[in-house]
Each structure stands twice: as C-alpha cells, then as structure tokens.
Structure 1
Amino acid sequence: MSFIQTDTFTIRGYECDAFGRMSIPALMNLMQESANRNAIEYGIGVADLEQRGFGWMLMRFRLRMHQYPGYGQTVQLITYPTSVEKYFIYRDFRLVDEAGTLLADAASTWLVFSMEKRAMVPLPDFILSLSPPTDVHPLPRLPLKPDFQVRPFVTTQEKEVEVGWLSIDKNQHVNNVAYVQWLLEAIDGETLQTKELAEIDLVYRTESHWQDRLLVQSTVETPDTFLHRIIHSESRKDVLLARSQWKLN
C-alpha cells in the first residue's frame, strides 16, 4: 500500500521569527516530524530501522518558500515518498494554507547508514519494497552534486560553534535542522532584517557529534545569493554545503 501523510498544525509563537513569520528551522522540524509519521505508516520509521541496526540520514534537501505563514495560522503539511532506488529514497513536501494555497515545497533525498559502522549501506529489502503514491506530481529530483558544490569558495564570514547536547538526535549525531539554524544565524544582520529566505539548497556530507567544534562559513555569490559551508574545525572535512537565495521583505 502507499500512504500520503497530511498533518494539520496551528503555528505557535515560539515557531515564529522576529517578524511573526514561521521560522525556517520550525518548518523543517515539522517536515521532519511528518516524514517520520509517514515512514511509520510504511514500517520504515526511526524505531523500525533502529531495531535492525540502521538509521536514516538526510543527504539532499531543497526548500522553496512561496509565502510565509504567520503566528496563529493553520496550515497543512503533506509528505510522501516519490521513488526508491538501490541507495536512495526520495521524498517531497508541500505546505498549504486552509484555502489550499501553496506556501512552501521541498524535495529531499535520504540514505540509510549502519549504526555499527557509521557508513552508508544499500537500502534494505523492506525499504526497497515499499510502494510510493502514483497519483502525485513529484518535484524535480535533486542532483547528487549540485553546481555550487564544486564552485570556488572564498570565505568572507566565519563563526565557530561547539555542538551542544540538545543538537544531538536519536541517531547520536547532529540533527539536520541544527545545521540550518547555525547557517542562518551566521548571515549578516542587514540581510536578516531586510530580506526573507526564498530558497535554500543543502548537501549533507558527513556526521558531526556532541562537543565537536565546527566552522560556519559563508561567501557572497550575488547580491541576493550566498554560498555556505560548515566544516570540522580540526579535520577541515565538509559537513554541509549550501546555497541560500533571499528576497526583500
């Protein structure tokens, strides 16, 4: 059977930014929650994988904001898998208001890793056998290596963070939304106060863990576009690469 997850949320104050708009980390957390609820329906939730010694890891994520919802607004979050391959499962998200107007959408690519080896593995048969919905229109599949991943990167802003206990999830690594919050908080103040995020495209490269020290770096690509990189302070290994696009409030 195939399952489409639809969850209804009323936006709370602590999920909003300084302008009363739903914050990007809050939206991504709700997307993650709905994705896990949908995965449970398929028998591939976090607990299902954990029992078999596996965990989910997000590899690619692109979020597009069409219209920001605000405090007290009721929205629906819809998510479903779109296809399954040997190593990857693809999932889409749509956020709509009560009238059905599209507020945001996101495409994502997930992989499975071995909890013991902390390494990527082929999708187990119980995941490969699932049936995605056929009556949906999938978003374009994200390239595994987007163009910004190979662009020259000359850091213009840098901020160091230490991974705290509350940034760690059940897979014993940093939750993917924590990286986005660090990335956004490192943006210059003028951009944060005069513009809103229109799109963010993310490539997750490797894990980080409690008490790791990370460097959050960014550089200007165009007046409305930034490139971002989060690396381990000591090893200099890439943890996350990203591009963000902004528009005037």
Structure 2
Amino acid sequence: MAFIQTDTFTLRGYECDAFGRMSIPALMNLMQESANRNAIDYGIGIADLAQKGFGWMLMRFCLRMHQYPRYSQTIQLMTYPTTVEKYFIHRDFRVVAEDGTLLADASSTWLVFSMEKRSMVALPDFIRSLSPPTNVDPLPTLPTKPDFQMAAFSPTDTKRVEVGWLSIDQNKHVNNVAYVQWLLEAVDADVLQTREIAEIDLVYRTESHWHDWLEIQSMDETDSSIRHRIVQTESGKDVILARSRWRES
C-alpha cells in the first residue's frame, strides 16, 4: 500500500525569524516530522528500524523556497517516497498555502546504517518492498555527487562549535537540521539581514556525536551563492558540504 503524508501547521512565533518569515531550520524540522509519520505508516519509522538494529541517515537534501510562509500563516506539508533503490530511498516534500500556492519543495536521499557497526548497509527487504505513490509527479533525483562537492574549497571564514546534548537525535548522532542551523549562523551578518535563501543543497558525509568539536567553514562563491563545509576538528573528516543561493528579501 502507498501512503502520502499530509500535515497542516499554523506557524508559531518561535518558528519564524526576526522578519516574521519561517526559518529554514523550522521548516526542515517539520519536514522531518512529517517524513517520520509517513515512514511509520509504511512500517519503517525510527522505532521500527531500531528494533532491527538499523537507523536512518540523510545523505542528500535540496530545499527550494519559492515564497516564504509567515507568522500565523497556515501551511500544508506533503511528503512521500518516490523511488527505492538497493542502497537509497528518495523522498519528496511539497509545502503549499491554503490557496494552493506552492511555497517550497524539497528532494532528499536517505540510507540505512547498522547501529552496531555505524556503517551503511543495503536497504533491508522490508524497506525495498514498499510501494511509492504513483499519482504524484516526482522531482528530479538528486545527483549523489553534485558539482560543488568536487570543487576546490578555500574557506574565508571558520568558526568552531562543540556538539551539545540537545543536538543529538534518537539515532545517537547529530540531527541533520542542527548542522544547517550552525552553517547559517556562520553566514555574514549583512547577508542574513538583507537577503533570504532561495535554495540550499546539502551533502551529508559522515555522522558526528556528543562532545565532538566541529569547524563551520564558508566561502563566497558568487554574489548570490555561498559554499559551506563542516569538518570534524579531530579527524579532519567532512561532515557536511553545502551550497546556499540567496536573493534580495
């Protein structure tokens, strides 16, 4: 059986920024919540996987903001799996206003890891056998390695953070949205106050844990795009690579 998750939310003050726009981390948190509800219907929620010794890990995520929801606005968020492969499952998101206006959409790629070995495994049969909806128009599948992942990176700004307890999720690693908040907080103050994100494209490379020290790096790519990188201070491993595109707000 195929399931499409549809949730309705009315934006609260703490989900909005200083200008009353919904914040990117708040939206991503709601998307993650809806995705887990959808996964539960399919029998592949966080608890379902944990019972079998597995966990979910986000590998790719690309969010496009067409029009920002604002404080007290009611939105409808839909999510559903689109394609199931040997190692990856792809999931789309759509956010619309009450009148049907498309506010945002996102595509994502997820993998499963062994809780014991903390390493990627092929999708178990109980996941590979699920049936994605057929009455949807899926977004293009994200490339495993986008162009910015392979390009040279010379950071112009670096900040350090220590992973706190409240950034850890049920899979015992840093929640994917926490990284996004850290990399956005590192953006130049003038950009944050005069522009808004049009798109953010993320590659998650490895997990990090409580008390890890991370370096949040950024570099201007063009007048309207910024490259981001988060690195484990001790190991030097890339945790996340990203590109954000900005427009006048």
What interval of TM-score do these two structures reach, taking the shorter chain for normalisation? Answer: over 0.9
- 1:2 is aligned to 2
Runs of 4+, deviation exceeding 3 Å: none
Question: Partner of 1:229 in structure 2?
Answer: 229
2:65 aligned residue: 65
Mapping for residues 83-98 of structure 1, pairs under 5 Å: 83-98=83-98
- The one-letter code sitting in structure 1 at the alignment partner of 2:128 is L
User: Which residue does 1:180 correspond to in 2?
Assistant: 180
Residue 122 of structure 1, CA deviation: 0.3
| Residue pairs, 1:60-209, within 5 angstroms | 60-209=60-209
Which residue is equivalent to 1:16? 16
2:96 maps to amino acid: V
C-alpha distance in 2 between matches for 1:153 and 1:25: 24
Deviations 1:70-89 (A, max 9, x none): 01000000000001000000
Structure 2: distance between partners of 1:37 and 1:233: 35
Unaligned segments of structure 2, at least 5 residues: none
Match of residue 211 from structure 1: 211
Instruction: Please name the residue that 1:46 is paired with.
Output: 46
1:234 shift after superposition? 1.4
> Deviation at 1:235?
1.1
Match of 1:240 in 2: 240
Percent identity of equivalent pairs: 76
What is the total number of aligned residue pairs between the two structures? 249
Take 1:119 and 1:233, find their aligned partners in 2: how far apart are those partners? 21
The AA in structure 2 aligned to 1:248 is E
Tell me the residue number matched to 1:36: 36
One-letter amino acid of the structure 2 residue matched with residue 139 of structure 1: L
> TM-score scaled by structure 1?
1.00
Give me the TM-score of the superposition, normalised by structure 2.
1.00
Please report the RMSD computed on the Cα atoms of aligned residues, expressed in angstroms.
0.3
